[in-house]
Amino acid sequence: MPSRNSTQLTVALDRLLLEEGPHIQGHEVQHNDPHRLLVIDGVVVSCSPTEYLLLLRILNHSEGYVAFGPLAECALNIPLNRSTRRCLTQHMSRVRSKLWPFGLDISCLTGYGYVLLAIPPEQQERGEEAGKASLYKEDDAHCA
């Protein structure tokens, strides 16, 4: 039986005008830009304004990679440089952790940008924390 809070949230979500987002790897994505609200498979994804912009940009380019420069300009409103790149990497790390429960990950393509990927089932079976730790270690080494 759903709790009272989850029922209230469901009613509140039904009242908001959610736009259909891309259907990614079998997931249903909806968003509401004025409220910076992102819903994946009926679950509200809590994120900061910057994370919301990054998530939308990545989700809307799910068929290819998103270059570093446009991501930095979109979310941070500044051109890409060394310090901006570090800041972008930190934000992307937070965004990745929000997508992990849905079986999605964002990988860094050295010299190109970021790409949205499905997490392989064998990594999901090993456990969330073990998989995340190895992915972050690899990403930090190549994208810092």
| Euclidean distance between CA atoms 54 and 56, whole angstroms | 6
What strands lie across the sheet with 19-20, from one edge to the other?
19-20, 29-32, 37-40, 43-45
The string of pLDDT tens digits covering residues 78-89 is 888 888 888 889
At 114 the pLDDT is: 93
At 64 the pLDDT is: 84
Segment 102-128 mean pLDDT: 81
What domains can you pick out in the chain, each with its CATH number? 19-143 (1.10.10.10)
Segment 123-138 mean pLDDT: 53
| Euclidean distance between CA atoms 12 and 126, whole angstroms | 36
- With 0.75 as the threshold, say if the pTM is over it: no
The string of pLDDT tens digits covering residues 9-59 is 554 555 566 777 766 767 888 888 888 888 888 888 888 999 988 988 888
